[in-house]
Structure 1
Amino acid sequence: MKVSCHLITWGENLLTGMKEASELGYRGCETFTHLAMNYENDLETFQALLNEHGFQLSALYGGGRFSEPAKKAAIVEENTRVAKFLAANGSDRIVFGPQGPRSEGGTTLDELKAAAEAINEAAKSCHDLGVKACVHPHLGTEIQNENELDAIMEMTDPDYVYFCPDTAHLAKAGMDPLEVIKRYRSRIEYVHLKDISPDQASAEDFPILSGNEAMPIFCELGLGTLPSSLKEVTSYLKDTGYDGWMTVEIDKSTSTPYQSLKTCREFVTNELKLTL
């Protein structure tokens, strides 16, 4: 398995993120799609940045509001555009992220059918470019809960549509990450490793907190509620021969991006027994 680092923690500071993540030893990166696509017409410069920091581009985030039929053509076009950029930079994974807002009561069956149709068409277009589209259930969106995930997986073509489990988003939506990963193991082609902040965070656990700061929903690997789950998931994927990317992701640091991804690195290497 290969370890990647999402540069989301550095926000819009792509160059600083690349520099510091590289210094920490990460050799794969995912970043905000719009930051990467700024180099759409200057591939040489982007590839030089990757080479300078010893990175492979593990994936970019695509997707869209799949459940609205009127948006299907635009979704296919935009995801195809991102897939072309990925392929040109030696990457073969695109994350299909659904969008919000989430409807009260969840996504209806008709909406899920429309979403599956859009996902199938966009995924086939990406597949033609050598890029695998991986559906990523996400809190606050049209594909969040287990029934919505199951419906999408059932109604999409396994030859073109793959799965990107995110440990924290699955758990926060009430699912057992390991159970879901076992169910869809044959379609897993990308993974986000993420931890959930505890309900009550103390300065002892997170020294950077002054006592009146709100914890982000997600936190550094190993400091939240999912250490055991992360170990189980990693062990299962390793035992079943998964050899793709395991992407460390923390949306917002409780200290500095560098320190947060250092903490994640130590958990990945010491507890998950993965090599950067």
Structure 2
Amino acid sequence: MSKFAGKISVHAITWGQEHIKAMEEAARLGFRAMEPWPSFALQYADRPDELKELLDRHGLIMSALYGGASGESGRRFSDPASRQSIIDYNVRLAKVAAACGAGHLVFGPGGPRNAAATLDELKTAAETISEAAKRTLELGVKACVHPHLWTELQDENELDAIMEMCDPETVFFAPDTAHLTGAGMDAAEMIRRYKERVAYVHLKDLMPEDARKEDFPMLLGNEALPVFCELGLGPINFQPIIQALMEIGYTGWMTVEIDQSTSTPYRSLEICRDFVEQQLGIPIQGVSVSQ
């Protein structure tokens, strides 16, 4: 049986604003690559070599940065007035990423989600994504569309429309196992559907529905939103997802991510690490992490 040929990274989001602690503890857990907070990375926009040296000091390399329409409250791909701001923001991120040896930006949509996107909104979003993606690709950094619950790009029909409207040579796909599943999609099927464009992956789980916190801060109407949890503690079956990635010959990054720890960041990522290694059979240092 073939083995997963991709590379494992870890997201720094679990540690919040404790960026140095994130590096220290991720390295202690055995991770060799990290997706840092974009706001932290941009502190080094004028001296990216220092950020690379900081990662090097902890035995880490940068796998990607999270960009897109995120980073500013209320900014959306579907708002033509935000286009230049989004382009400028992602170019700044791409310059830092490229200087640190990373080749991907995760293009997160804007939020909060008010309603399903209209065709006109999707057309505008696709134009903005395409233009920003062209600019980042000129710097050697691929823009990877990342559907996200509670945002302007959440549902399957919206993802399909964006992918159809955007050039496959310029705009890529970053499936997130929890966000796709939470929106009612089959993550493995979406990976197969866009097999030529899958360029980055977030590995993430959802809290079982009957255990989701009622006081989670982001609300839609009167219903609490799903809460993400450590890998293996939720309902997602990851084996078919890994199988789909192997079927398409994926050799890129798969970044372990949990937004909020149920104990401590170290313990949460220890659980995730053990799940990846013991249940999925993927050693986190099993494949060379050279870019």
Does TM-score exceed 0.5, indicating one fold? yes
Residues 1:48 and 2:53 aligned together: yes
SS of the equivalent of 1:180 reads: helix
Give the equivalent residue in structure 1 for 2:14.
9
User: For residues 60 and 173 of structure 1, what CA distance do their matches in structure 2 show?
Assistant: 23
Deviations 1:168-202 (A, max 9, x none): 00010111111111111110000000000012349
Deviations 1:183-230 (A, max 9, x none): 11110000000000012349xxxxxxxxxxx9970000001111x2x1
Where in structure 1 do 4 or more consecutive aligned residues deviate above 3 Å? none
User: For residues 95 and 191 of structure 1, what CA distance do their matches in structure 2 show?
Assistant: 9
Residues 1:238 and 2:246 aligned together: yes
Give the equivalent residue in structure 1 for 2:44.
39
**How much has 1:46 moved relative to structure 2?**
1.1
Give the equivalent residue in structure 2 for 1:210.
none
SS of the equivalent of 2:208 reads: coil
Deviations 1:81-125 (A, max 9, x none): 110111111111001000112123x11000000000000000000
User: For residues 204 and 68 of structure 2, what CA distance do their matches in structure 1 show?
Assistant: 20
8 A Cα contact 1:2 1:275, kept in partner: no
**Structure 2 residue corresponding to 1:192, chosen from 202, 215, 236:** 202
8 A Cα contact 1:197 1:215, kept in partner: no
Give the equivalent residue in structure 2 for 1:220.
230
Residues 1:273 and 2:281 aligned together: yes
**Structure 2 residue corresponding to 1:116, chosen from 126, 131, 145:** 126
1:138-217 correspondence to structure 2 within 5 Å: 138-201=148-211, 217=227
SS of the equivalent of 2:282 reads: coil
Residues 1:73 and 2:84 aligned together: yes
**How much has 1:275 moved relative to structure 2?**
1.9
User: For residues 20 and 112 of structure 1, what CA distance do their matches in structure 2 show?
Assistant: 40
1:93-108 correspondence to structure 2 within 5 Å: 93-104=104-115, 106-108=116-118
TM-score after normalising by structure 1? 0.92
Residues 1:24 and 2:29 aligned together: yes
1:240-259 correspondence to structure 2 within 5 Å: 240-259=248-267
SS of the equivalent of 2:107 reads: strand
Which segments of 5 or more consecutive residues in structure 2 lack a partner in the other structure? Answer: 1-5, 70-75, 213-223, 285-291
User: For residues 241 and 51 of structure 2, what CA distance do their matches in structure 1 show?
Assistant: 33
Give the equivalent residue in structure 2 for 1:205.
none
8 A Cα contact 1:216 1:252, kept in partner: no
SS of the equivalent of 1:36 reads: helix
Deviations 1:45-101 (A, max 9, x none): 211211111111000011111000111111111111110111111111001000112
Q: Which amino acid aligns with 1:10?
A: W
CA-atom RMSD in angstroms: 1.5
User: For residues 37 and 76 of structure 1, what CA distance do their matches in structure 2 show?
Assistant: 15
SS of the equivalent of 1:187 reads: coil
User: For residues 71 and 127 of structure 1, what CA distance do their matches in structure 2 show?
Assistant: 20
User: For residues 255 and 168 of structure 1, what CA distance do their matches in structure 2 show?
Assistant: 20
- Aligned positions, number: 262
**Structure 2 residue corresponding to 1:128, chosen from 129, 132, 138:** 138
**How much has 1:131 moved relative to structure 2?**
0.4
User: For residues 49 and 126 of structure 2, what CA distance do their matches in structure 1 show?
Assistant: 36
**Structure 2 residue corresponding to 1:61, chosen from 58, 63, 66:** 66
8 A Cα contact 2:49 2:99, kept in partner: no
**How much has 1:43 moved relative to structure 2?**
2.2
8 A Cα contact 2:209 2:226, kept in partner: no
TM-score after normalising by structure 2? 0.87
